[in-house]
Amino acid sequence: MTAVGCADVRKRPLRLVVIGSGPTAIGAIHQVFKHVREGRIQEDDVEVTVLEKESEVGGLARSVTDSNGFTWDLGVHVTGASKYPEFTKVFESTSTKWNYIKRIVKADMKHVLTSEDPTLNYIPYPVQQFVHCLPEKIRQKCNGDLKIIDPTRAAKNFDEFTFNSFGPTMQEIFIRPYNEKVWTVALNEMNCDWVVGRVPKPTFSEEKPTPISVFRYPADTKGIGEVWKRIAENFPSDVFHFNEEVIRIDRDSKMITTKSQEYPFDAVLSTIPIVSLGKMCRLDSPINLKYSKVLLVGIGLKYPQSDWAANVSWTYFPRPETIFYRCTFISNFNVHMTPDADEYWSVLCEIGLKADEEFDEREVIDRTTEDLQENGIIESKSLVVNEWLHVLPFGYPIPTLNREEELARTQKIFEQSGIYSRGRFGGWRYECANQDHSFTVGQQFVDYLFFKTPENVHLV
C-alpha cells in the first residue's frame, strides 16, 4: 500500500513523468526501481517516463568529448566522502576505478603579492585561512579586523555577512571581487541563508600545518559523465525518451507537450530551471528569480606542462582583469581526458556572465589563452592545439533576497497540480546542488510522493 500509487484505487499505474536526466532525476528513478525490487511499490502501480532534451543522460554532470578527442565536464565534478550512503553505494556499484587525488587548490593574489613570477602570486585556498601567506601590511590589517568582525551579528544580505565574518580587508582583496565574478550581481542583492554555517572561518595567526584533503575522480572513463551513464544502464531502457524537449505543461488536463508528442501525467518531477517550468506552465505571473550564465572554455595543449601546473587541482581568480573566475587542470585528474596523455594536457576555464549578456566567441577564447599565459598557467599560446567553448545558459541559481518568498509561492502552485520542482535549478538552491545532494533530493522526492516521508535535503 502506498500513499499515491494504489492500483486498486486508481485502476491504472501512477504516471510519473521526470523532466531531465541529471543526478536528481537519476536519484529519483533509482529510488522507484529500488522500491519495486524490494516490494514496497508494486511494479504495476507506477509507470515512469523520463523526458530528456539531450541525446544522453547526465544533465549538468555530463561530459563532452570534442571533435579533437579532448573531454570536458560541464563544470567541475569531483567526489569526496559523502554523508549520503545510498549515493556512495550506487557510485561504487558502477565498478568504476578511481583516482585518489590530493586536493591542491590555489587563489591568485597578484594584486597584493606582485611577484614577477606569476606562480608565486598564488596562495592556498581558502584565502581566509592562509593570511600568513600575504604581505605584512595586509596581515596587520586582517589582525586589526579581528576587533570588529562578529560572525554572529545579524546580516541583512550576503555583503553584510561577509563583512561580519571576514572583515573589510579580506572582503576587499578576495571575498567581494571573487563572488561578484561568480554570481554576476552585487553581494547586497543576495541573501545569506544559503551560506550561514558553510564558510571556513578566517585564520589570521601564524602558519600552521594544514591537513591535505583528497578527492576522487573516475580513472577509467572519459569524464564524470560516464559514471552517470553506467548508473542509468541499471534501469529499463524504455523509460528514457531522448531528444524530447518539453515546450508546454497543461496543469488542468495534466498533459505534457514536447516537440514531437504528448505525455499524460499524474505526477511530475521537474529538474529543469523553475523559471523555465513557470513559462511552460503559463503561470499568471513570472517567477522573479535571477541566474547567471557560464561559459566553459576548454584549452588543449601540447607538452611541456610546468611542474607547478601538474600539481594543482584548480585555481580561483578574484581580479576582474582575468576573464575566468576558475581554472581547473582537468587532465591532472584522469589520463583519458586528452586524445593522448603522453602528448597533451588540458585546462577548463569558467567565465560568469549575466543571463542576457552577449559575448563574442573568438574574443572570449583569445582572452582566455592570454590570461592563462599572463597568470603563469601556460608558457606560450603556441602550445595551444585545441579550443572548445560551451555555453551553460543556466550557470548559477542566484540566492536573491526574495528567493524564499518566490519559491514558497511558486512551489505551492506547482504542487497543487502534482508538479514537483527539484534539483540545482529546479529547487533553486545552490547550497544543496552537489552530485550527492542532488541524487539524494531525487530519492527523497520519491519517498515523499509514495509514502509522504518528509524531505529535508532540498529544503536545507
Q: What is the pLDDT of residues 55-75, one digit of tens each?
A: 999 999 999 999 999 999 998
Mean pLDDT confidence for 246-257? 98
- 112 Cβ contact partners less than 8 Å away, ≥ 6 residues apart: 134, 135, 138, 173
Q: Confirm whether 341 is domain-assigned.
A: yes
User: Is residue 117, in this structure, part of any structural domain at all?
Assistant: no
The answer to whether residue 207 sits within a structural domain is no
Distance CA(155)–CA(56), nearest Å, equals 43
The DSSP letter of residue 307 is H
Whether residue 317 sits in one domain with residue 239: no
**Omega of the bond prior to 124 within 30 degrees of 0, cis?**
no
CATH number at residue 41: 3.50.50.60
**Domain check: are 50 and 68 in the same one?**
no
Is 206 domain-assigned?
Answer: no
* Residue written as grid cell 596587520: 140
Looking at the fold, whether 414 and 367 belong to one and the same domain comes out as no
Report pLDDT for 373. Answer: 98
Question: Into how many domains does the chain fold?
Answer: 3
Is-above-0.75 flag for pTM?
A: yes
301: domain range?
A: 64-82+98-103+215-222+290-397
pLDDT of residue 241: 98
387 and 434, same domain (yes or no): no
Average pLDDT on 245-269 reads 98
pLDDT at residue 79 in the model: 87
Query: Are 279 and 316 in the same domain?
Result: no
Task: Answer whether residue 355 is part of any domain.
Answer: yes
Q: pLDDT tens for residues 191-249? A: 999 997 677 667 766 666 566 699 999 999 999 999 999 999 999 999 999 999 999 99
Q: How far is CA 27 from CA 88, 232, 269, 458, in A?
A: 12, 10, 11, 13
Residue 350's DSSP bridge partners are 296, 326
d(CA 346, CA 70): 8
Residue 403 to residue 393: CA distance in whole angstroms: 20
Q: Which residue shows C-alpha cell 544559503?
A: 194
In a domain, residue 142? The reply is yes
| CA–CA separation, 440 and 231 (whole Å) | 14
Instruction: Choose one of 378, 397, 416: the last residue of a domain.
Output: 397
pLDDT digits (tens, 9 = 90+) for 2-38: 455 444 445 789 999 999 999 999 999 999 999 999 9
Write the secondary structure of 362-416 as one string of H (helix), E (strand) and C (coil).
HHHHHHHHHHHHHCCCCCCHHHEEEEEEEEECCCCECCECCHHHHHHHHHHHHHC
Neighbours of 10 (CB within 10 A): 13
Residues 176 and 308 in one domain: no
Lowest mean pLDDT among 200-204, 275-279, 369-373, 396-400: 200-204
Q: Is residue 115 part of a domain?
A: no
The dihedral sign for the CA sequence 299, 300, 306, 311: positive
CB 291 within 8 A of CB 276: no
Give pLDDT, residue 211. Answer: 63
> What CATH number is attached to the domain comprising 371?
3.90.660.20
Identify whether residues 55 and 147 lie together within a single domain: no
Looking at the structure, do residues 296 and 386 belong to the same domain, yes or no?
yes
353 part of a folded domain: yes
Secondary structure (3-state) at 25: helix
C-alpha cell at 376: 603563469
Domain check: are 346 and 309 in the same one? Answer: yes
Q: How many CB atoms lie within 10 A of CB 135?
A: 12
In this structure, the answer to whether residues 169 and 185 fall within a common structural domain is yes
Shared domain check, 323 and 262: no
Task: Tell me: do 173 and 257 sit in the same domain.
Answer: no
